[in-house]
Amino acid sequence: MWVANFFVGGSLTMVLPFISLYIEEFGNFSDAYVQNWSGWIFGITFGTAFLFSPIWGRIGDKYGRKNILTLSALGMGLSVLLMGFADSVWELFFLRLFMGIFTGFIPMSQALISTQTPKEVAGRVLGTLQTGSVTGNLMGPLLGGVLADTFGYSATFKWVSITIFLSGLLVMFGIREVLHQNEASTADQTTYTSKDVLLHIIGHPVLLAVMLISALVQVAHFSIQPILSLYVAEIHGPTSIAFFSGMAFSAAGLGNLLMARRWGRLGDRIGYIKILIFLLFMAGIVYFPGAFVTNIWQLVILRFLLGISIGGIIPVRIAYIRQEAPLSMQGEVLGYNTSLRFLGNIIGPALGGALAGFFGFSAVFFVTSTLLIASGAMMLGTWYKHEYTGKRRKHSRPVSSH
């Protein structure tokens, strides 16, 4: 699954950096036209994925997550292959929309591995799994650039589709999905309606807060994405702008790669929510000084520290869901969690672009930092009220004598 996630993570990021350049090949368009369509074509995939993630999660709970992963790889691979034959912005737009239906490969793989893993080591295992997609994300843009320069944009889409199809074959022939018999209690085997799943989430305030934070963290993480290269140009100048922008992007991924497994293992030991609260405050604190950097290396260091803190948030969050949701509804719960993440992916770039346009780049860092710290405070308050005090009362009750 790690190798399959590496291929999918790398494949999807190979083509993203040059979508706007690919659009320019379709005709003699103005810069505004290309930028506008780039935004729509980039965002529509997340919009469709937002709608379909809970549906796939529910189907996965019923028929097995391995089957959904194979179908997801087939759908994504076919979409990317056909993009190589597109000759208009509308064709590319509809293919990206179609691709969004199948885009939840990596979250579904996390759901699969989560249900195959004992609760007490879920954080460490999910942290390890995450390094697969992160490594792919780091290498993807670099390899995509080399392929595009060597073979052209349309050929790159066709090459990339091969690695996505290969991921599907890896899942089909390399993975056996089993239910842990020691956890297959009657409660876990119950069939839940979508209403039951939503009531379970709402009835567990800490679980609900964890899922809402999925959206807020993605808003924060993606707010800087569309304008990072422009910010790099402002503080560094136009020299080697692509190289230094790539370095600033990759620094966060490197921090994520180094620490994801360690944060997951620490969460297994001392509690996932404690680690999540700490990481949200840490991310908010390291984001803030980004508004005051005066050279590229200061920004790279801050991006690296951000990657270290953001890197642990996903595995500890999923490990907590693994702990709190019955096995037979976990796919759908994680599907809603994925939908909220995709919602954050849509809102984040729009928010960052609007803030930078109206108030300047510094405003993006101030607002994002505030959002992350507010998320940490919300998580702390919810956990303290609904879990920490409940456990204290439980432990402090006097033992009755007979």
CB distance 166 to 7 below 8 Å: yes
**Domains of the chain and any CATH numbers:** 1-175 (1.20.1250.20), 192-393 (1.20.1250.20)
Q: What is the pLDDT confidence band of residue 83, given thresholds at 50, 70 and 90?
A: very high
Instruction: Identify the pLDDT of residue 227.
Output: 72
pTM for this one? 0.79
What average pLDDT score do residues 249-278 get?
89
* Residues in contact with 151: Cβ distance below 8 Å, sequence separation at least 6, in sequence order: 159
User: What mean pLDDT is predicted for residues 270-287?
Assistant: 94
Residue 113: name the closest of 257, 249, 20, 3 by CA: 3
Contacts 24+ apart (CB under 8 A), 148-156: 148/18, 148/21, 153/18, 153/21, 153/22, 153/25, 154/22, 154/84, 154/85, 154/86, 155/84, 156/14, 156/15, 156/18, 156/84
Q: What is the mean pLDDT of residues 257-272?
A: 90
Q: How many percent of the chain have pLDDT more than 90?
A: 32
CA distance 255 to 301: 10
Least confident residue range of 117-121, 265-269, 379-383: 117-121
Residues 6+ apart with CB under 8 A from 199: none
pLDDT of 173 over the 60 cut:
yes
Three-state secondary structure call for residue 28: coil
DSSP tag of 180: -
What average pLDDT does the segment 158-169 reach?
93
Amino acid 190: pLDDT? 65
pLDDT band at 390 (very low <50, low <70, confident <90, very high): low
In the prediction, which pLDDT does 179 show?
59
Residue pair 311/256 in contact (Cβ under 8 Å)? The answer is yes
What mean pLDDT comes out for the span 168-185?
Answer: 74
In this prediction, residue 322 carries a pLDDT of 83
Distance separating the N- and C-terminal Cα atoms of the chain: 55
